[in-house]
Every structure is written in C-alpha cells, then in structure tokens.
Amino acid sequence: MELLQGKVAVITGAARGIGAECGRRFARAGAAVVLLDVRDEGAQVCDEIGRHGGQALFVGCDVRDDDSLRTAFDRAATAFGRIDVVVVNAGINGLRAPIDRFPLEAFDELVATNLRGTFLTVRHAVPHLKRAGGSLVLMSSVNGTQTFHHAGTSVYCATKAAVSALARSLALELGRDGIRVNAVCPGHIRTAIDETTRRIDLEPIDAGLSFRNGSPALRRGVADAAEVADVCLFLASELSRHVSGTDVLVDGGHSLVA
Ligand SMILES: NC(=O)c1ccc[n+]([C@@H]2O[C@H](COP(=O)([O-])OP(=O)(O)OC[C@H]3O[C@@H](n4cnc5c(N)ncnc54)[C@H](O)[C@@H]3O)[C@@H](O)[C@H]2O)c1
C-alpha cells in the first residue's frame, strides 16, 4: 500500500523548489495533491503529475491574502472531498541587509509571506483537518533555529523561529483533534530561491563563516529539494504517527559545525 493512498494534500509554494517536489512525491505516494502558488508555473507541475498518472489540481493563490486562501481551500475540498495533509511551505528570503538599513517595507514583506502566510494557511487548514485528523508540516529553516551566521538575515531568521514556535504550540493545541504538527528545517537546498533574494551592504556585517562542504559531519554538500520532500512525506504519513511538535533538521549535519 502506498504511504498516502486515499489522502488529500494541500501544498503552498508548490510551483517550484521544495513545494513542487513535495507535490510530485506525494502524488507518487498515492495522494491527490492541491498545489497553491502565486506563480502560474504551478499549472505545469500539475500537468506533469497528471501525465505520470497522479491526481493534481493547481490553484493560483497568494498566502498573504485571506480571501485567496479561503477560495483555494474551498476548491480543494470541493474537488477531492477532504483534506488530510497541509504542507505550509511558501516562503521567501526577501531582503538581506544590516538591521539599521532594513526598510520597514522589506520587514513587512518577509513577515507577511513567511509568518502571516503561515498563520493564514494554518487557520484555513485546521477546520478541514479536524474532521478526521491529519498532519500539518510547516516549513521553517536551520536559519533562525540552529544557525545565525548568514549576514543580514535577522528578519528572515525571526520569521522562521516564529514558524518553529508556532508548530510546537499548535502540536499541543491540536493533538486532541488528531492533528500532528511538525516543522521541517532545511539547510542549504539547491532551488531558485536566491533569484528573488535582494542584498544590501552585507560585507561589514559578514561573520566570515561559510558552508563547510568538506566537513566530516556532512555526507554530502548542498542537497536537492527531493531530500526535503522525502522528510515531508514521512511527516505527512502514518510512519510518523508518534511524531508531533518537533523540528526536523534536513541539513546533512551542517548545523553541527556551522
Ligand atoms: N532553499 C533553501 O535553501 C531553503 C532553506 C531553508 C528553508 N527554505 C524554505 O523552504 C521553502 C521553499 O523554498 P524553496 O527553496 O523551494 O524556494 P522557491 O523560491 O524555489 O519556491 C518557493 C515558492 O513559494 C512561492 N511563494 C512565494 N510567496 C508566495 C505567496 N505570497 N503566496 C503563494 N506562494 C508564494 C513562490 O512563488 C515559489 O514557487 C521556503 O519557506 C523557504 O524559506 C528553503
């Protein structure tokens, strides 16, 4: 029996990167997947899953917007009749800059996407998950929970620390409803996220610590989205039935030496 046979999974930020890979892997594991993203490329991921025999629906959705999420969750529930798993993955690096040069708009953009977006997605997910129990997987990061040396990432780190705290609090709140909540903390993963990262004046605040590719703690260097998606699959499935309220690091041991 496939790990997610008969289950329905909603994944935010699923047009590319880690979210798209979760969509592909969950579909291969038997789930019907609902891919949400502001980018239209989500439709291509959806078609690809369909061509490989999977069930998928793409819904254009901005996680910063309450109405947009309400419509997306309504469409997911109407299309597939239930929701069992929600991967709250949409996120941005936003601006990297010294704190005294960090514009309020850039702070608001990061908080709106990474924290408000997570809160709103969870708020729409929970009434569906309460019907039969399920799994919420929140995408955090090692940055903000384990490592803090990337120059100019203080606001990003704060949003991800908040996401991890939210996962633990919610695990306690929602456990009685049969909902498990965990946070996934990737290290450096090969995706296109840096395309939209902006940088200002990082040299004076750089701690001079770089990724140690050759460290004995690492089996390999930078990982692919697939490595993170496999952990999300584990957390989504019954294999992790006794796992809730925890940060799962997916960094190959990087944060042991960083
Ligand atoms: N790549 C890494 O090294 C890394 C490390 C740690 C954590 N993460 C986290 O993993 C998650 C996925 O990152 P990725 O590397 O796959 O990035 P990515 O940029 O490849 O994919 C992120 C997706 O989220 C979507 N998105 C952004 N804002 C959105 C919004 N407002 N509404 C809906 N969708 C939105 C984007 O359109 C994109 O498709 C993020 O939360 C990121 O912070 C990534």
Distance of alpha carbon 21 from alpha carbon 230, whole angstroms: 9
Calculate the CA 75 to chain-centre distance: 21
Please check the confidence at residue 210 and state whether its pLDDT lies above 90.
no
Pocket-testing residue among 35, 61, 92, ligand 1, by greatest number of atoms within 8 A of Cβ = 92
Rounded alpha-carbon distances, angstroms, from residue 253 to 47, 165, 183, 185, 221: 35, 22, 17, 12, 10
- The answer to whether 153 and 198 have CB atoms below 8 angstroms apart is no
Q: Where are the alpha helices (DSSP H) in 81-174?
A: 104-110, 117-132, 154-174
- Choosing from 58, 102, 156, 234, the catalytic residue is 156
* Confidence tier at 186 by pLDDT (50, 70, 90): very high
pLDDT for 221: 73
Is residue 245 flagged as an active site residue? Answer: no
pLDDT at 216: 59
Site to probe by mutation for ligand 1, drawn from 37, 138, 193 as the one with most ligand atoms within 8 Å of Cβ, is 193
Q: What is the mean pLDDT of residues 156-183?
A: 98
What confidence category does residue 248 fall into, taking pLDDT thresholds of 50, 70 and 90? very high
Q: How confident is residue 208, by pLDDT bands cut at 50, 70 and 90? A: confident
Each residue of 5-51: pLDDT tens digit? 999 999 999 999 999 999 999 999 999 999 999 999 999 999 999 99
Q: What percent of the chain has pLDDT over 70?
A: 95
- Per-residue pLDDT of 62-87, as tens digits, reads 999 999 999 999 999 999 999 999 99
The per-residue pLDDT for 250 is: 95
What pLDDT was estimated at residue 177?
A: 98
Q: What is the mean pLDDT of the chain?
A: 95
